[in-house]
């Protein structure tokens, strides 16, 4: 098997910054082909930024980002567009088009990217909606949907083109327990049914570990650990233990850096 096929996404020695703030320093991550890879890490560590590097929205300062065999940063606009057609994305906000019905939201990528005849589009959309249990809601407008239903429609839309790579940004956040269970199950089922690769970005440890085949833990601008969920749970690395077990203090200190407390109190007394 060629190297290209072993990893669907290869982040190689990447540096990235926003203004003065370094987000990544020399980060290397190989996302294996097929299954669910979960990227975890504390808020603000750069998880969404990583998805933006993968989709080519951001360019690294140094290093390479290879996706589905293409080096993203060197692609011409048209080639990047072609590559993005092979990726499905679901954002935390669901980002449904509010003027379009549920049906038209799912049909949107098909109408934009293909010349498929209307009856075929109809069948594909109904199949995708059936997969997420919302065929009956096809005529609803997004404003009529609950948060959990909107997330499911966004999932159906992300899979409309049968993508080779699915990217999910915080798919579990803000859902009630039942919707959470449904989304978790659907991400797993759809990844397996489409025999595709899903990258799920989350800070939700329980859900993340429950669906992951591979886990990548980010922090301090680098990859702290990777492995199967069990390997991470068994890890003795203090940072891994602190994050997975939700310990309030550890390598990531409870206190934001400050000058001496006693000194500061006495200063004004």
Residues that bind ligand ATP (CB under 6 A): 18, 23, 41, 43-49, 203
Provide the phi-psi class of 266: left if phi over 0, else alpha when psi is between -120 and 50, else beta: alpha
Is there a contact between 168 and 198 (Cβ–Cβ < 8 Å)?
Answer: yes
Contact, 100 vs 108, CB < 8 A? yes
Interface with Mg ion, residue 48, by CB under 5 A: yes
In terms of Cα–Cα distance, which of 85, 90, 57 is closest to 168? 90
Quick one: 67 or 161, whose CB is closer to ligand ATP?
67
> Which is nearest to 214 in space by CA: 228, 235, 233, 230?
228
Q: Minimum distance from CB of 158 to Mg ion (Å)?
A: 17
Shortest distance in whole angstroms from residue 49 CB to ligand ATP: 3
Comparing CB distances to ligand ATP, the nearer of 23 and 199 is 23
User: For the chain, first and last CA: distance in Å?
Assistant: 71
Is residue 52 a contact residue for Mg ion (CB under 5 A)? no
Residue facing Mg ion at closest CB distance: 48
Q: How many Cβ atoms from other residues are within 10 Å of residue 255's Cβ?
A: 7
Q: How far is the CB of 48 from Mg ion (least distance, A)?
A: 3
**At closest approach, how far in Å is the CB of 53 from Mg ion?**
13
- By CB under 5 A, tell whether 141 contacts Mg ion: no
Of Mg ion, ligand ATP, none, which one sits near residue 132, judging by CB under 5 to 8 A according to partner kind? Answer: none
In this structure, the number of other CB atoms found within 10 A of the CB of residue 166 comes to 22
Token pair listed for 173: 């956040």
Bridge partners (DSSP) of residue 216 are 39, 226
84, interface contact from Mg ion, ligand ATP, none, CB < 5-8 Å by kind: none
Min dist. Cβ of residue 185 to ligand ATP (A): 23
Q: How far is the CB of 20 from ligand ATP (least distance, A)?
A: 10
The residue among 188 and 203 lying less far from ligand ATP, judged by its C-beta, is 203
Nearer residue to ligand ATP within complex by CB, 84 or 203: 203
Are the C-beta atoms of residues 183 and 155 closer than 8 Å to each other? Answer: yes
- How would DSSP label each residue in 43-86? TTSSHHHHHHHHTTSS--SEEEEEETTEEGGG--HHHHHHHHTT
Nearer to ligand ATP, 129 or 187 (CB): 187
In the complex with Mg ion, the residue whose CB is nearer, 48 or 235, is 48
Question: If contact means CB under 5 to 8 A according to the sort of partner, which of Mg ion, ligand ATP, none does residue 133 touch?
Answer: none
Which of helix, strand or coil describes residue 134? Answer: coil
Residue 46: which of ligand ATP, Mg ion, none does it interact with, CB under 5 to 8 A by kind? Answer: ligand ATP
Site residues for Mg ion per CB under 5 A: 47-48
């Amino acid at each position: 098997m060629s190297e290209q096929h072993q990893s669907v996404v290869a982040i190689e020695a990447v540096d990235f910054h926003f203004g003065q703030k370094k987000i990544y320093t020399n980060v290397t991550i190989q996302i294996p082909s097929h299954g669910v890879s979960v990227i975890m890490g504390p808020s603000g560590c750069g998880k969404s930024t990583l998805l933006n590097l993968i989709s080519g929205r951001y360019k690294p300062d140094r290093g390479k980002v290879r996706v589905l065999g293409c080096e993203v940063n060197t692609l011409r606009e048209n080639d990047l567009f072609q590559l993005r057609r092979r990726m499905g994305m679901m954002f935390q906000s669901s980002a449904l088009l509010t003027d379009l019905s549920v049906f038209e939201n799912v049909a949107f990528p098909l109408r934009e990217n293909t010349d498929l005849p209307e009856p075929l589009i109809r069948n594909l959309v109904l199949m995708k909606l059936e997969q997420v249990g919302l065929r009956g809601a096809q005529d609803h407008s997004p404003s009529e949907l609950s948060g959990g239903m909107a997330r499911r429609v966004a999932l159906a839309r992300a899979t409309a083109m049968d993508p080779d790579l699915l990217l999910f940004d915080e798919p579990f956040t803000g859902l009630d327990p039942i919707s959470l269970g449904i989304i978790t199950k659907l991400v797993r089922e759809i990844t397996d049914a489409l025999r595709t690769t899903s990258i799920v970005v989350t800070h939700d440890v329980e859900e993340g570990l429950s669906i992951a085949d591979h886990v990548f833990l980010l922090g301090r601008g680098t990859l702290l650990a990777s492995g199967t969920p069990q390997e991470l749970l068994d890890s003795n690395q203090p940072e891994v233990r602190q994050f997975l077990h939700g310990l309030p203090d550890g390598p990531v200190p409870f206190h934001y850096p400050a000058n001496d407390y006693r000194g500061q109190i006495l200063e004004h007394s």
